[in-house]
Structure 1
Amino acid sequence: MLAASSGIIVITSCKDVKFDRHWLATAYNWFIIPYMVYDVYAMYLRHWYRCYDKQVLNGKDQFATAMNSLLRKDFLMLVHHVVILTILVPIGLFLRRDIGDFFVGCLYVAEMSTPFVSLGKVLIQMNLQNSLLHKVNGALVLITFFLCRICLFPFMYYAYSKQYGIPLYKVPFSIPLHCNVVNASIMAPQIYWFWLICKKALRLYQGPARSGKDR
């Protein structure tokens, strides 16, 4: 929620979507670095303990076994974190020439769905996957993910078109090519993850009850 709150503050403070500045747009990038490093380490630990519980770890192969599990099951999420650390953060801090704070704020708002996604995993670990709270949280995941990670990108193009008085369909041809490439690269995994979330939602609301191990 900290990222989303920062994003909302930046968005509402920037009247000019290209040139207006807000200190949070840059400052929050410094917070992202340790957070992402910690999150990658936490993902590794999760797979390490999973392998340990299944008694597939042995001596010197512990690291390799856990990493293999991480790469097989959370490869896209790992790539997501690495791309943020190695590409998006440097762009946000050093390469964007002090413009585009509004759009940086929009990307922060994309994290609005993360607390609900995390809560869903916690509820499953607590064997509450059949509870009303889990179903309500599932609906919130769908809504926030769709609005803040899918609709976010058309919204950014709309904001640019409104700012400069051009038709929405002309915006992709009015901005640098690399902006379109970056947006498409960020949006593609969001669509894939939203598809996975929709599949889980169908199982949650229509299918028979499943145990946490099946999810």
Structure 2
Amino acid sequence: MLKAFICGAVVFPGLYYTFRKILKSALTHWSDGDVVLVSERLVSAIHAVVSTASGVIVVTSCRDVITDSHWLVNGFALFGAPYMAHDIYAMYMSYFHNRRSKDPSGAPSGHSLQTVRDFLLKDWMMVLHHLTLLLVFLPIVLFFRGGLGDFFIGCLFIAEFSTPFVSLGRILIQLGLDNTMLHKINGAIVLLSFFTCRILIFPFMYWMYGRRFGIPLYKAPFHMPLHCNLGNLVILTPQIYWFNLLLKKAKRLYLRQKRGPGDGHKDRPKTD
């Protein structure tokens, strides 16, 4: 299994730097901020595709949701772990270049502790989410489950299904295609896939757990061990927060497009 970890530590940073080099060479008019943001999103989408595929294989292979196991659970957990650490770095690089491009006179010319602090304050929830998965849930998956519950870990892998569409939306905005039909369709898919795979997946897991023990859905949380409920709550809470942000963003875009370009920029939202 150490090979899976080493492979992930090579693949994700390697893809990131490869994309940066290709984009910088192919799109010479792009700024460094454009390049690092799109590179980050492409790597994120690839990780999500592999995660979703692994989750589907695990879920469809486990007939008993408690005792059945699949090697991909530990394998992908180790392979994907370096991505969590790498993505924090990639997000920081995107923040750094975006900040410098927006305020070239006031933003620092180089990296500093203040820049890192500002980044952590801005994206603290995403950073905390990544660190929690890496430092808390990874050890639980590998060492403290006793080989039980691979089905539910597979469900959590599938939660990444919405990520490629989120990344595509950011890339379309970067390309200036945020007013196209493709962006609108992708936005609808983002909302549907995020709600289904990151929020409804939790009632589904409780329902499957209840089926296993012959109890109704509403009794399943009271039958499940407390630490499992707490773990689900820790993962679910930021998903609800981010889904609320997606809804607000979709509402802003809808209202902006409804007003049309002839209404001027007086009431245009400051952030898209």
SS at 1:207 equivalent: helix
Unaligned 5+ segments in structure 2 are 1-48
1:144 match: 193
**Deviation, structure 1 residue 47:** 1.5
Q: Does 1:15 align with 2:63?
A: yes
* Counterparts of 2:269 and 2:122, CA distance in 1: 16
**Deviation, structure 1 residue 212:** 9.8
Q: Does 1:46 align with 2:94?
A: yes
Mapping of residues 65-214 of structure 1, within 5 Å: 65-208=114-257, 214=271
Aligned-pair identity (%): 49
Q: 1:52 to 1:205 in 2, by over 3 A?
A: closer
Give the aligned length. Answer: 213
SS at 2:66 equivalent: coil
**Deviation, structure 1 residue 147:** 0.4
* Counterparts of 1:30 and 1:115, CA distance in 2: 21
Q: Tell me the C-alpha RMSD between the 2 structures.
A: 1.7
Q: In 1, are the aligned partners of 2:161 and 2:197 still within 8 Å (CA)?
A: yes
* Counterparts of 1:46 and 1:81, CA distance in 2: 16
Q: In 1, are the aligned partners of 2:252 and 2:269 still within 8 Å (CA)?
A: no
**Deviation, structure 1 residue 76:** 0.7
**Deviation, structure 1 residue 213:** 6.6
SS at 2:256 equivalent: coil
| Residue number among 40, 57, 66 corresponding to 2:108 in the alignment | 57
Q: Deviations over 1:55-108 (max 9, x none)?
A: 31145xx22232133123211111110101101111111111100000000000
**Deviation, structure 1 residue 190:** 0.5
Q: 1:88 to 1:212 in 2, by over 3 A?
A: farther
* Counterparts of 1:187 and 1:65, CA distance in 2: 31
* Counterparts of 1:69 and 1:120, CA distance in 2: 25
> Relative contact order (alpha carbons < 8 A, sep ≥ 6): 1 or 2 greater?
1
Q: 1:212 to 1:90 in 2, by over 3 A?
A: farther
* Counterparts of 2:181 and 2:112, CA distance in 1: 39
- TM value normalised by structure 2: 0.75
**Deviation, structure 1 residue 201:** 1.2
SS at 1:107 equivalent: helix
* Counterparts of 2:67 and 2:115, CA distance in 1: 45
* Counterparts of 1:212 and 1:22, CA distance in 2: 47
2:76 match: 28
Q: In 2, are the aligned partners of 1:14 and 1:102 still within 8 Å (CA)?
A: yes
SS at 2:239 equivalent: helix
SS at 1:17 equivalent: coil
Q: 1:65 to 1:122 in 2, by over 3 A?
A: farther
Structure 1 segments (4+ residues) deviating >6 Å: 209-213
Q: In 2, are the aligned partners of 1:10 and 1:22 still within 8 Å (CA)?
A: yes
**Deviation, structure 1 residue 12:** 0.6
* Counterparts of 2:269 and 2:166, CA distance in 1: 15
Amino acid at match of 2:80: I
* Counterparts of 2:123 and 2:96, CA distance in 1: 13
